Every structure is written in C-alpha cells, then in structure tokens.
Amino acid sequence: MTGPRNGTGTAALAVAVAGVVLCWSVVGGIACGVVAVILGAVGRGRARRNEADNGAVAVAGVALGVVAAVASVAFAVVWAFAWRDSGGADYLDCVSKAGNDQAAGRACTDKWLNDVQERFDVSPKPTRGST
C-alpha cells in the first residue's frame, strides 16, 4: 500500500497563502484563491476517503483561499475608487489624445501627478542631497 496522498491539501494551503499575500494585486488573489479552494476540496475529499491524512490542512487551504478571494474583491473596490478619485480617467484620456507624442504623454503624467498632489494634499518626499 502506498502512503497518504497529502500533496493536494498541502498545495491548497501553499497557494492560499500566496493568494493572501497577493490579494492587493486583485488578479493574483482571486486566481490563487479559486485554485486553493479547488485544490482544498480535492484534498479534503481524499482525506474523507482515507487516501490522505491532512484533511485539516486542506480545509485551511479552502478557508484561506476564500479569504484571499474576498480580500481581492475588496481591494478591487478600493483600487477602483482610488483610480476614480485620482482622476485616472482624465489621465487616460489625455494620454490617448497624446498618441505617440512622448512630450505630450509626459505632460499628461506631470499634470496628473500634480493634480493628485493638490487633490490629496501630498507632496513627494525629498531625496537625499536635495535642498
């Protein structure tokens, strides 16, 4: 008889941890979360059939996978509001109108950065050696 097939449950937990770490990137968290849930379900099924002995690890992978996916959706909402509030649509419109003109594209970027600094009352941190 072969030993327990614990790889799927362990993989679920590892992928779920990666999903939690990557949840700010939205796509990484959702993709890893969904994969972790699927792997965890398969691992849990193996544990129920006594083909694996790490059912708790598989369940932890499922739970963390769900957390990663939900956190990614929350970050998507945060990023969408941040993009809207920072004038991102206006920036993309400006860059689109600039086309291949690099100077105009840089002007769009400079204007957007200045608008963000004024809108949110932030300024870039001075670098060493600057006055």
The helix-helix angle for 27-48 and 55-85 (nearest 10°) equals 160
Question: Nearest 5°: CA angle at 41, between 62 and 77?
Answer: 40
Q: Report the alpha-carbon distance of residue 94 to residue 87 in Å, rounded.
A: 11
Q: Report the alpha-carbon distance of residue 87 to residue 54 in Å, rounded.
A: 49
Q: 3-state class of 123 per DSSP?
A: coil
**Residue 19: other Cβ atoms inside 10 A:** 29
Residue range 56-78, pLDDT digits in tens: 999 999 999 999 999 999 999 99
pLDDT at 118 over 90: no
User: At 87, phi and psi to the nearest 5?
Assistant: 80, 30
Which tokens go with 90?
A: 């206006």
Q: Report the alpha-carbon distance of residue 20 to residue 66 in Å, rounded.
A: 9
The domain ranges of the chain are 7-81, 88-119
pLDDT band with cut points at 50, 70 and 90 for residue 3: confident
Tell me what the mean pLDDT of segment 85-110 comes to: 93
Which pLDDT does position 66 carry in this prediction?
98
pLDDT band with cut points at 50, 70 and 90 for residue 119: confident
Question: For the CA atoms of the chain, what is the radius of gyration?
Answer: 23
